[in-house]
Homo-oligomer: A and B are copies of this chain.
Amino acid sequence: MLLSTGGVVALAGVGGLTPLSQALAQEKAKSEAKALPAYASWKHADSLIVHSANTIETKRSAFGSGLITPLDRLFVRNNVAPPSEKIVADPDAWVVSIKGVKQPKDLTVADLKRLGLVAVPMVLQCSGNGRAYFPEKPSGTKWTVGAAGCVVFSGVPIKAVLEATGGMEPGAKYMTGTGGEEIPQGLDPNTVMVERSIPVEAIDDAILAWEINGEPIPLAHGGPLRLVVPGYTGVNNVKYIKQLAFGKEQSAASIQQNSYRMTPLGEKTNVNQESVWEMPVKSFVTSPTGEPGEEIKAGMVQIQGLAFGGMSAAKEVEVSVDGGKTWKKAAFVGPDLGKYAWRQFVVGMDLKPGKYEIASRATSQAGTVQPEERAANSHGYLNNSWRDHMLAVTVI
């Protein structure tokens, strides 16, 4: 630890990096040394930062200009180690139990494929994406921007599943998905299991998905079957889902009761605090610099980034190169893929040599403007501060 701190101090005079940039660069250098875990060995290592076997982030510079994030560059976040690779060998045979409905049923993926098909382009983002920028240094993975991607999930609407099972039991207020992770013997399942509840109002666009980006969902992303709730943070999109239940109460699992809540600084997490469900409006710049502290050559540059509205589409993005003093409207790149997808944006700027702070600020169709400051909370969730995501750039 002393050595690491010493390194930051020693670098302070070099290249004019801010202490935060340096700390992040160091964090990144450490992470890059880690190898991809076996279940994600097929991913593109150069595009990723491996924080741990269960937390893998896309580099800011690796997002590229496509509309959809390629699977081999998509982040991975598991709350518990994934089940055996065997479960994706025969996806059609996977069974999900539908409960809290008038006709409870066990349905295979093959059964589900006969009920209907939708394809939903959507942002998949870890609740803690941007945690690295919280000054309180909350525990948890120090994600910068890359615990997010825009993917296409294909599957059957939850509404069609409900139609095939007689509909929800009267009075149901929550839909609860249970993940297929193996619970180690002797542990209280509630302390380990990944079981998340969302309000039934949110199920209109939710699906049970067997494909991501046109491929059977790989184990790393929750295959053979994943609950997908567009607009909601990653944890609510339950992987390897084995049970979908409708009922009056939220799950008793710890991950629902005592985690993923907007806990005020200094307080203990409890069930009365707001659950981390919907994503707020957000944007960040990805190019031409990509990584903190990089230098770029003077002249016309195309400043690019990504913007999404959470529960409604991004309507507008502005870009600032002077740390938010003045803003210029950016253009969207490519077609609108629907309200849950992100938009790429671009704006041409003629930059003379000097130092710049490049920020972006999105506004959603719902009229919400991305804020300058993050919402303070003790676990570092839902960071959408434009200032936190700003890049310091030297133009030479």
Contacts and interface: CB of A to CB of B under 8 A. Distances in A.
A300 B160 CA distance: 13
A341 B335 CA distance: 11
Q: How large is the interface on A (under 10, 10 to 19, 20 to 34, 35 or more residues)?
A: 35 or more
A214 B67 CA distance: 7
A215 B73 contact: yes
A266 to B, nearest CB: 41
Contacts of A256: none
Contacts of A154: 64-66, 333
B114 A213 contact: no
A335 to B, nearest CB: 5
Contacts of A271: none
A250 B337 CA distance: 38
B118 A66 contact: no
A14 to B, nearest CB: 25
A215 B119 contact: no
A211 B333 CA distance: 14
A367 interface: no
B119 A344 contact: yes
Contacts of A20: none
* Copies of the protein in its oligomer: 2
Given A73-B215, A215-B73, A335-B336, A346 B117 contact: yes
A91 B144 CA distance: 27
Contacts of A116: 302, 346, 348
A119 B336 contact: no
A68 interface: yes
A63 interface: yes
Given A117-B346, A119-B344, A152 B68 contact: yes
A344 B121 CA distance: 13
B335 A113 contact: no
Given A73-B214, A73-B215, A119 B67 contact: yes
Task: List the 3 closest pairs (A to B, CB-CB), nearest first.
Answer: A66-B214, A119-B334, A65-B154
5 contacts: A66-B213, A66-B214, A67-B121, A70-B71, A119-B333
Interface of A: 44, 63-71, 73, 113-121, 152, 154, 211-216, 288, 299-302, 304, 333-338, 341, 344, 346, 348
